[in-house]
Structure 1
Amino acid sequence: MSYYVVYLPMKDEELSQTLRPDHLAFLDEQIEKGNVKAKGRFADGSGGMVIYAAESLEAAEEIAKQDPYVEKGARGMEIKEWIASFA
């Protein structure tokens, strides 16, 4: 299992507000499945970040693309494998 950081830059603030309940429900579902390890928004309102656990970059990308923010164009998506080091 590897970790993947998904950066979700803001594209449409109004649409993001509309989709927020669906986005949060999606993340809660992924947390229950063990796919999301951390999530949060940036204080400056520029977007947010989700850390996924997955077997491959392709698997993480497949999950992340199902996020309503991404599916409906409210946010962009950039994904990178993260070599995590926890204190």
Structure 2
Amino acid sequence: MNRYLILAMRRPHFDPAVVPLHQAFLDRLREQGRVELSGPFGDKSGGAYLLHAADLAEATAIAHSDPVHLSGGWDITVHEWQAH
């Protein structure tokens, strides 16, 4: 498994009601051993999570199934992360 840094940045029209759905999504991924770290940014502009996936295509598919992405109120970017 490779590591992917997922950045979720709020757009001006984001719906705060999506946040608990996003948290539940991350909890499910954590239970599967897919999420290593996650959390919001201190300035409330969004957050990030470190995802384990086989490749970029799988990581992108998982990130795009995140409720914050599906809601359209967040910009999601996926970066392969070669952390040491």
Pairwise same-fold verdict (TM > 0.5): yes
Aligned to 2:75: 76
Using the TM superposition, give the Cα deviation of residue 14 of structure 1 relative to its aligned residue in structure 2, in angstroms.
4.9
Give the direction of change, closer, same or farther, for the CA distance of 1:83–1:5 in structure 2 (3 Å limit).
same
What is the TM-score normalised by the length of structure 2? Answer: 0.93
Aligned to 1:48: 47
1:57 aligns with 2:56: yes
Q: Structure 1 unaligned runs (5+)?
A: none
Amino acid at match of 1:70: H
Count of equivalent residues: 84
Task: Percent identity, please.
Answer: 33
List 4+ stretches of structure 1 deviating above 4 A.
Answer: none
What root-mean-square deviation, in Å, do the aligned CA atoms of Structure 1 and Structure 2 show?
A: 1.2
Using the TM superposition, give the Cα deviation of residue 13 of structure 1 relative to its aligned residue in structure 2, in angstroms.
5.8
Give the direction of change, closer, same or farther, for the CA distance of 1:18–1:58 in structure 2 (3 Å limit).
same
Using the TM superposition, give the Cα deviation of residue 63 of structure 1 relative to its aligned residue in structure 2, in angstroms.
0.7
1:2 aligns with 2:5: no
Give the direction of change, closer, same or farther, for the CA distance of 1:26–1:53 in structure 2 (3 Å limit).
same
What is the TM-score normalised by the length of structure 1? Answer: 0.90
| Equivalences for residues 16-35 of structure 1 within 5 A | 17-35=16-34
Using the TM superposition, give the Cα deviation of residue 78 of structure 1 relative to its aligned residue in structure 2, in angstroms.
0.8
Higher strand share: 2
Give the direction of change, closer, same or farther, for the CA distance of 1:14–1:75 in structure 2 (3 Å limit).
closer
